Chains A and B, each alone.
Chain A
Amino acid sequence: MTNWLTAPILIPLLGGVLQIFMSYAPMQLRRTLALTTTILTLVAAIVLLGLADDGNYRMYAFGNWQPPFGIVLVLDRLAALMLTVTATLAVFCHIYALHKTDTQGPHFHTLFLFQLAGLNIAFLTGDLFNLFVAFEVLLIASYGLLLHGGGTARTVPGLHYVVLNLVGSALFLFSVGMIYSVTGTLNMADLALKVPELNSEDLPLVKIGGMLLLVVFGLKAAVLPLCFWLPRAYASATAPVAALFAVMTKVGIYAILRVYTLIFGDDAGDLANLGMELLFPAGLITLAVGVMGLLGSRTLKTMIAWQVIISVGTMLAAIGLNTPAGISAALFYLINTTWVVGGLFLLVDLVSNQRGSAGDKIVTAPKMRNRSLLGALFLLGAIAAIGLPPLSGFFAKLLILQAASPGVEMALLWSVILIGSFFTLIAYSHAGSIVFWRNSEGHIELDRKMTLPVTASVTALLALSVVIVALAGPISRYTDDTAAQLTNSAGYTKILEMPVLSEGKK
């Protein structure tokens, strides 16, 4: 049964490899196979979600090496949740990409599927060095995707993105080395047991290693001093890629949650809650800067890119509360924001296709052909992103606000989030009214009409916000359970005692 843990990694990996050999196959066949692969990944993720929901940990040991000696995949509620969120987003992005994006370069499907495989390794792995490898797999695919379709506009932001992430990888290796040199293990469960037993001489090294890791994850998640690469890179990528990248910053958030609740959690002795006190202020400042960036954006794509940074800040602030309620609220918000931001990126592409040379700039342009539909979708997305009732963003933010305990923390969190939301509202209504209501004379020759699959994928992704509201009960129960599971690291370390070989196979 635990062999199923490899499914979300193997399916896109094999599908991607298959695509490499199909360069000259008919486009229709490649598309069908690629989309089938993504849908199968989603099915695998949902199956694992069902498995993980019983609260047990499941482990798959590569080559049947008993952990901590071999590399393991570990499935728990958090991993299953991240898998499902990613795969759902990926299916809709992929449907959108079938329209035109995949013909701009020869290997779009391969890169897309490898990206998915890399993300899934990162969510499932139970080994710190394997996490580094997963980051590299997903990053090199993301480099290819970011530059996909080419053009000068993409080369320069792409160069920044690659160099920054390579520096991040070097830092990751430094911190892994420091932690290994003292503890002698890189298995996360084993680390959780070894870190509390360290003697005082060795503590500083692990502490430095842990803080360096926070910098690396902060770079992936785009936390404030490390977030300025994001808007240019995301705004220059093609729409389905930018939408898929909505989940990339969440990998950083996932890694922070995993490492800092498990290895440096409450039970970590002298290193308990290492760096946690930094997360709260860093999150709030990131949120504030994100709102300023959003207000100052001149194009719709840049706006949505800043929205990504806002959501990172909100999640980090909620995680920084360091309570199960805070983590649960952050996860609820994560589901909402990943799908909505992804949908908005796709929607902006539809809008700019109908505005001729005005593109996604926030200026007046001739009337769009499908103005009412696009306008309604923009309204839906904006409401969900800002966090106005009745859509899911509102409930997510409400949960975060409720998670704060009365005091200075509460005052800071409430004021920053509420004032931030207010300014976000201003920015969205300003942009929306110019783009959708103020039209200049003339008309635009359309080169791309909206087709049903494209419209349907955008609508479905944004409508998921309504689904989240309808299923708010089960989802918040799941995130509550996830938070409870995360804060109790004793459960995770039990995987070390699980027998790898069943009796029959010996």
Chain B
Amino acid sequence: MELVFALVIGTLTSTGIYLLLRARTFPVVVGLTLLSYGVNLFLFSTGRLMSDGQPIIGGAETYSDPLPQALVLTAIVIGFAMTAFLVALALRSHADTDVDHVDGVRQQETTDEQVDRTENNQ
């Protein structure tokens, strides 16, 4: 279980970081979401992985640490709110600048195409 868990966290985090480094806002948003999934799973694992553990002492033979679950819950709520805000901001940026590039500028080749088009029109 530990190996699978670690691999999942690793995959989520590395994919998230890869997508974060893209130049378009949409992959960045998805990347941040994946990264926060990775973080949440990681936080969850800090209470050690076990099955059949209750978060109450005395209810069962093994008990699991309830604190990481509370931390994950907080992190999920905050991460969700931040992602929603970021999506709204990315849409706003797209509406303001007409591109979804993170710097709000068209890449070089598109600018050239535009110039060509305007010249043709003239």
Contact = CB atoms under 8 A, between A and B. Distances in A.
Please indicate which of the listed interface residues B47, B65, B71, B90 has the most CB atoms of chain A within 10 Å of its own CB: B71
Given A143-B85, A176-B71, A159 B39 contact: no
Contacts, number: 86
Interface string A201-241: 00000000000000000000000000000000000000000
Contacts of A147: 89
Nearest to A139: B82
Contacts of B35: 167, 170
Nearest to A172: B39
A166 B93 contact: no
A219 B89 CA distance: 21
B39 A156 contact: no
B81 interface: yes
B78 A133 contact: yes
Given A163-B32, A167-B20, A173-B43, A155 B68 contact: no
A158 B85 CA distance: 12
Contact of B39 (A143, A160, A170): A170
Query: What is the interface of chain B mostly: helix, strand, loop, or mixed?
Result: helix
B57 interface: no
B90 A133 contact: no
Contacts of B45: 177, 181
Given A170-B39, A174-B42, A162 B86 contact: yes
A140 B88 CA distance: 13
B71 A129 contact: yes
Contacts of A156: 93, 96-97, 102-104
A439 B74 CA distance: 56
A55 B90 CA distance: 48
A143 B90 CA distance: 13
Query: What is the interface of chain A mostly: helix, strand, loop, or mixed?
Result: helix
Interface string B56-83: 0000000001011001001100110110
Please indicate which of the listed interface residues B28, B48, B78 has the most CB atoms of chain A within 10 Å of its own CB: B78
Contacts of A349: none
A155 B89 contact: yes
Interface in A166-184: 166-167, 169-170, 173-174, 176-178, 180-181, 184
A28 interface: no
Contact of A159 (B71, B75, B102): B102
A173 B97 contact: no
A152 interface: yes
B27 to A, nearest CB: 11
B82 A140 contact: yes
Contacts of A169: 78-79, 82
Given A155-B89, A159-B89, A163-B20, A177 B43 contact: yes
A136 interface: yes
Interface of A: 129, 133, 136, 140, 143, 147, 151-152, 155-156, 158-160, 162-163, 166-167, 169-170, 173-174, 176-178, 180-181, 184, 186
21 contacts: A133-B78, A147-B89, A152-B104, A155-B96, A155-B104, A156-B93, A156-B96, A159-B25, A159-B93, A160-B102, A163-B86, A163-B102, A169-B78, A177-B46, A178-B46, A180-B46, A181-B45, A181-B46, A181-B47, A184-B65, A186-B67
Given A159-B104, A181-B47, 13 more contacts: A133-B74, A152-B96, A155-B96, A155-B97, A163-B32, A163-B102, A166-B32, A176-B71, A177-B45, A180-B68, A181-B46, A184-B65, A186-B67
